[in-house]
Amino acid sequence: MGVLREYQMQAARFALDSFVRNGGAGLFLDMGLGKTLTSIAIMDIWHAEHPDGRFLVVAPALVAKNSWPDELERFKSVHSLDWAVAVGTPRQRLAAVNENRTVTIIGQDNLAWLDKTVACWPWAGIVVDELSGYRNPKSNRFKVLKARRADRASHPSGRRRTSNGELPIDWLLGLTGTPATKNLLDLWAQMMLVDGGRTLGRSMERFKGEYFRESRWIKNPYGVSQCIEWEPLDGAQARIMDRIGADCLSMRAADKLPGLPDLLTVDHWIDMPAETRAKYDEIRRAMVLEVSGREDVTAANAGVLTGKLSQLTAGCVYPDSDDSDRTVMHVDDAKMDELERIMSEADGPVLVFYRFKDELERMAKRFPGMREVHEDGVLAEWNAGRVPLLAAHPMAAKYGLNIQHGGHEIVWLSLPWSLEDYDQANARLHRSGQSHPVRVHRICESGTVDSRILSVLERRANLHDAVMGALRGEE
């Protein structure tokens, strides 16, 4: 495919060679480096050599519905693949599967349906877009792909379907720009899918035992101590990176796209209004006192506390689950005021990320021209510069949206805890095709949980950079 850039050809060659040697490959490429186009080239080359081969692409729902078919259509003059998109109702999905096209595209949310519906999978290769979404080995989507990778007629429970003997998948290609944003433990399940356990073993518990030590415990409701955190042993990170290096290729956008405009971060620290501060301190003291003397402190306890405090920094308080009054309490508009100020000085349209529905509702009332990212036709209008304020939740907008032509100003009303959500969301504008430096405005309230979220994002970014750097051979 002549449209590929040199680094994309390098990635394609790496993957095809790894398929032959190891039966799988991981392309850990920064956002904006063209993982979709590279994967189309890989399938096209493989199909030319194996004409009977068919492929399954599994992607986040929006990406499966929009990005993959759009890219296949856009570059159809330079590849020989035909495709069907298995989205919509079960009947529509089944009709697409039964078309027996060279490439079948399906959302990862429909993997369980596909597993129940198709007894023996006909696909020789599987492309897993956003591999990091499979880092939890207890998730059903992981179990489905793990079983089907080993035997196209297998079920996660171990039950065999109709098959003339074990028929493994020829290869699996895993795509992600964020393989380990939280913990090195995230790598095990992803590599299990990529290489079937060849590098990091077939047991998560053995992987933990070889590379990690227990570092934090809690008591469960039955009074039994349970480990909830592990830390890597000395030298473990280097050994893990060395093990997976033969199957995984890492690339950084800054290296491969030297002309990519800068990503500039501007933190807007504001003071929490006095009345909100009093309520914030009251809730924090009450909830800390509630859990501080208990032995059954869990992540759920901490989640409730930080969630409630985050709501207050956003200017609202949601009712507790057992509260008969389901009304959301409006507290203040401090961040909305700052958003309005930023918009007044912004160089063009603004993409705003929010966490709470109350923030979205208040934006809609305050800024009449606001549009939401999921509205029909809104992305074309945004790219044409006709949407002054585009609102998006990071979970809904972090994949598959090429909206870099519509603006270069991002505002975070409330930051997420997830580095993957944060980086992927920012990459909607900071990617190939963007012609201006992208400014990321983060509105934070001093002396609140906002500071904690920023520090967590920074630590996780350090881990991510270390993993990606090790795979590139950097010291």
Roughly how many angstroms between the first and final C-alpha of the chain, as a whole number? 34
The answer to whether residues 165 and 22 belong to one domain is: yes
Residue 309 lies in a domain: no
Residue 278 located in a structural domain: no
Rounded to whole angstroms, how far apart are CA atoms 122 and 127?
14
> In the prediction, which pLDDT does 46 show?
96
Ranges 135-144, 180-189, 210-219: which has the least confidence = 210-219
pLDDT of res. 300: 45
Q: Is the pLDDT of residue 82 over 70?
A: yes
Domain that holds residue 156: 6-256
418: CATH: 3.40.50.300
- Same domain, yes or no, for 369 and 458? yes
- pLDDT tens digits for range 386-434: 999 999 999 877 666 788 999 999 999 999 998 888 988 998 998 888 8
Q: If you count DSSP H runs as helices and E runs as strands, how many of each does the chain have, helices first?
A: 19, 17
Closest CA to 367 of 380, 394, 385, 349: 349
Alpha-carbon span 58 to 359, nearest angstrom? 32
CA dist list (Å): 363 to 336, 353, 358, 381, 392: 7, 11, 9, 19, 11
Q: Which two tokens stand for residue 159?
A: 């039950």
Quick check: 354 and 391 in contact, CB under 8 A? Answer: yes
Residue 475 has pLDDT above 70, yes or no: no
Average pLDDT, the chain: 87
pLDDT value at 277 more than 90: yes
Sort strands 370-372 and 329-330 into parallel, antiparallel or unpaired. Answer: unpaired
Q: What is the pLDDT of residue 297?
A: 39
pLDDT digits (tens, 9 = 90+) for 340-379: 999 998 989 999 999 999 999 999 999 999 999 888 888 8
Please state the rounded mean pLDDT for residues 264-291: 84
Collapse the DSSP code of 67 into the 3-class scheme (helix H, G, I; strand E, B; otherwise coil) and give the result.
Answer: helix
pLDDT at 398: 66
pLDDT band at 31 (very low <50, low <70, confident <90, very high): confident
Q: Are residues 359 and 238 in the same domain?
A: no
Query: 231 and 267 share a domain?
Result: no
CA distances from residue 90 to 107, 110, 150, 157, 276 in whole angstroms, order as listed:
12, 9, 26, 23, 48
- Tell me which residue of 313, 259, 263, 177 sits closest to 441, measured CA to CA: 263
Q: Which helix (H) or strand (E) holds 288?
A: helix 274-292
Examine the domain organization and report whether 267 and 170 are in the same domain: no
The reply to whether 315 falls in a domain is no
Q: What is the mean pLDDT of residues 18-30?
A: 93
Q: Is residue 1 part of a domain?
A: no
Across 27-40, average pLDDT: 89
Q: What secondary structure letter does DSSP report for 53?
A: -
- DSSP per position, 112-130: HHHHHH-SS---SEEEEES
**What beta strand segments (E) does 239-283 contain?**
248-251, 263-270
In the chain, the number of structural domains is 2
Which region among 81-90, 212-221, 332-341, 389-398 has the lowest average model confidence (pLDDT)?
212-221
**Cα of 143 vs its chain's centroid, Å:** 19
Number of Cβ within 10 Å of residue 139's Cβ equals 15
Q: What is the pLDDT of residue 97?
A: 97
Nearest-angstrom CA–CA distance, 87 and 82:
16
Is 316 inside any structural domain? no
28 & 99 share domain: yes
Backbone angles phi, psi at 107, to 5 degrees: -75, 145
In eight-state DSSP terms, residue 454 is H
Residues 349 and 423 in one domain: yes
Per-residue pLDDT, 78: 92
| 170 in the same domain as 56 | yes
**Is residue 280 assigned to a domain?**
no
Predicted confidence (pLDDT) per residue in 433-443, tens digit: 888 999 999 99
Confidence of residue 291 (pLDDT cuts 50, 70, 90): very low
The DSSP element (H or E) to which 232 belongs, if any, is strand 225-232
The amino acid present at 411, given as its one-letter code, is: V
Q: For 8-21, give one letter per residue: b (16+ CB within 10 A) or e.
A: beebbebbbebbee
Asked if 70 and 212 sit in the same domain, the reply is yes
CATH of the domain at 15: 3.40.50.10810
Same domain? 24 vs 78:
yes
Q: Which of 98-127 are b and which e, b meaning 16 or more Cβ less than 10 Å from the residue's Cβ?
A: eeebbbbbbbbebbebbbeebeebebbbbb
Is there a single domain that holds both residue 102 and residue 250? yes
Is residue 327 predicted with pLDDT exceeding 90? no
445 occurs within a structural domain: yes
The amino acid sitting at 70 is: D
Residue at a domain's end among 229, 256, 283: 256
Encode pLDDT of 118-134 as tens digits.
999 999 999 999 999 99
CB 151 within 8 A of CB 167: yes
Percent of the chain with pLDDT over 90: 57
Residues 84 and 195 in one domain: yes
Between 283-297, 312-326, 348-362, 376-390, the lowest mean confidence (pLDDT) is in 283-297
User: Which of 225, 256, 287 is the last residue in one of the domains?
Assistant: 256
Is 356 contained in some domain?
A: yes
